[in-house]
Structure 1
């Protein structure tokens, strides 16, 4: 495998990113989307993230092979120092360390933004099946996330009920008079380079 490059996502990457996501919508319960979003819907989702949070892609030989981003956790102001993570890797590229590289970059960016808590919302089966395994939970454990809660049988897909779990990673110390969160678009090219983004 060649060298994987991590960079900021662009709107021009939309179709490549959506293609990766389509596999998970159609073939898995990793996402609880049951229909593939339209280009317009997916564009709107990306635009919302771009306003404040990082949206990054992993590129190998000019091809996007994975992506990750953070977005608001709940959305009220007091939650500003928390963010929810999302990550998807091209199906035939899993197990190559791409997810780890994306998540390490997301964590570094989040720390630079003054975000203290990261959360992952993960589909979880009572019994592993062809649509959903424990791989995502195991990956997050490996990345230092802790299991903090479960919602029982809250997602219905492929004529089956699935659970959802929350996992949490604490990035820094919770002190009074915390500095405000810095929107990702305000980062200079020099800071982006220091954070490992090309």
Structure 2
């Protein structure tokens, strides 16, 4: 059984363990070094000052996390949040990320956010497909802006807007 709950600072080690393979094996994140457990604890605390930070658990073990953060630190952007999700690499493809994202988006809506954005480094067809199924559309493509593993990588921004026209 999967449960979704608010992240706690005590989850820092589990979140770090989930994130580590993405840092050392992929260009999904542009981090070169795995943040420390203390860095994760600080991230949890700072994110939760304004945004939701959720974890997915199965049998008492954290298997994924998702959080929202400030898109851009200007008051006019206060209704826009950048969303991030990471799943245990052995739990990807089981639709658990969809459950986690559903709850994250629901919490953001309760907090009156109107625009959700996601920055995705390329190549990452799985993340793009995941977001497009959820109604996100690509709104920007920046070429060769990240350099990792001796290669330049593009990023794309996807957006889901709840603003009525």
The TM-score bracket by the shorter chain reads over 0.9
Separation in 2, partners of 1:165, 1:86: 14
Give the 3-state SS of the residue equivalent to 1:111 in structure 2.
Answer: helix
How many Å apart are 1:37 and its aligned residue?
Answer: 0.8
RCO higher in 1 or 2 (8 Å CA, sep ≥ 6)? 1
**Structure 2 residue 82 is the aligned partner of structure 1 residue 81:** no
CA offset at residue 143 of structure 1? 1.2
Deviations 1:46-104 (A, max 9, x none): 22101011000000010100000000011111100000000000000011111100111
Q: Which residue of 2 aligns with 1:13?
A: 11
Residue 38 of structure 1: how far off its partner (Å): 1.7
Shift >6 Å, 4+ stretches: none
- Correspondent of 1:113 among 92, 111, 114: 111
> Which structure would you say has the larger Rg?
1
Runs of 5+ in structure 1 lacking a partner? 126-132, 175-198
Counterparts of 1:22 and 1:35, CA distance in 2: 9
Counterpart Cα distance in 1 of 2:14 and 2:4: 15
1:67–1:88: 8 Å Cα contact kept in structure 2? yes
* Number of the residue aligned with 2:50: 52
Residue 23 of structure 1: CA displacement? 0.9
**In 1: Cα distance, 2:88 partner to 2:20 partner:** 10
Partner residue in 2 for 1:64: 62
| In structure 1, C-alpha distance between the alignment counterparts of 2:109 and 2:38, rounded to whole Å | 31
**Structure 1 residue corresponding to 2:153, chosen from 146, 152, 162:** 162
Greater strand percent: which structure? Answer: 2
Cα RMSD between the aligned structures?
1.1
Give 1:40 deviation, angstroms: 2.4
Mapped partners of 2:107, 2:145: distance in 1 = 31
Q: Which runs of 5+ in 2 are unaligned?
A: none
Name 1:134's counterpart in structure 2: 125
Give the whole-Å Cα distance in 2 for the aligned partners of 1:77 and 1:106: 22
Give the distance between the partners of 1:71 and 1:49, measured in 2 at CA.
6
TM-score, length of structure 2 as denominator length: 0.96
